[in-house]
Amino acid sequence: MRIGEALGLEIGKHISADFRTLTIAQKVRHCIVGDRVKNENAERQIDLHPSVSELLRKFVGKRASGFLFQSRNGKPIESSNIVRRHLHPALKALGYVNQHTGDYKAGNHAFRRFRNTFMRNCTSCLDGLQKFWLGHAGDTMTDLYDKVKEDQQFRLEWAEKCGIGFELPEFGLFDVPKRPNVPRKTDMKKAA
C-alpha cells in the first residue's frame, strides 16, 4: 500500500470481518481524508497472509470503528510522524544502512518497494495478482479481462502462498512508547 492508503484505512469500513482483506477506497494526506485514491487502479482489495491478518486483529483489539492508525483524539496521523518516531529508530536499531545516503534512514515507500521486489524475485506470485495488490495498471489487453479481482478465494490462497518475506516478531510489537504529539524543542527554538 501507499502510506496515504494505509493511513486512510478505517476499522469496520475497510477491513473485512476475518481481517484477511483490506479495501482501499480513500487516502489520508497531511491528516486530511481524501475520498479518492491516486488513480482508478489504486481502488482495490489487498489480501493478507494469515500471519499478517492475525497481527492486524491483535492491533485492532476491541475497537469497532475509527482509523486503523489514529491519534489519541481519533484523527488520522501524519505520515512523517511514523517515519520519525518509529521507522527511523527501528532501522537504526536493526543496523540498516541506506546504500544511497550512507545513513540508517528510509522513507515509507521502502515498504512498498520491498513488497514489490519480494513478490517479483522471491515468490512464484502471479504477475497479475502482484499488479492488482499494488494498484498498478495491467500491461496487456489480457490483463483487462483477468477475473482475479472477482475471485477472492483464489486471491486469499495466493496471499498465503506468496508469503511476506520476513519473520514477524513474537512479542513486544505493540509495546511502543507513547509520546505526545508536540513539536520537538529544537523546532520550537527555530520558530522563536
Contacts (Cβ under 8 Å, ≥6 apart) of 29: 4
pLDDT at 144: 45
Residue predicted with more confidence, 21 or 100: 21
Question: Cell for 11?
Answer: 476499522
Contacts (Cβ under 8 Å, ≥6 apart) of 6: 68, 69
Q: Tens of pLDDT along 134-151?
A: 665 555 545 544 566 778
Helix H segments across 8-151?
50-60, 79-82, 88-94, 109-122, 127-134, 141-145
Residue predicted with more confidence, 171 or 118: 118
**Residue 17 confidence (pLDDT) above 90:** yes
Domain boundaries of the chain, sorted by first residue: 3-76+109-168, 78-107
CA nearest neighbour of 128 among 117, 115, 138: 138
pTM here? 0.71
> What are the beta bridge partners of residue 10?
67
Q: pLDDT band for position 26 (50/70/90)?
A: very high
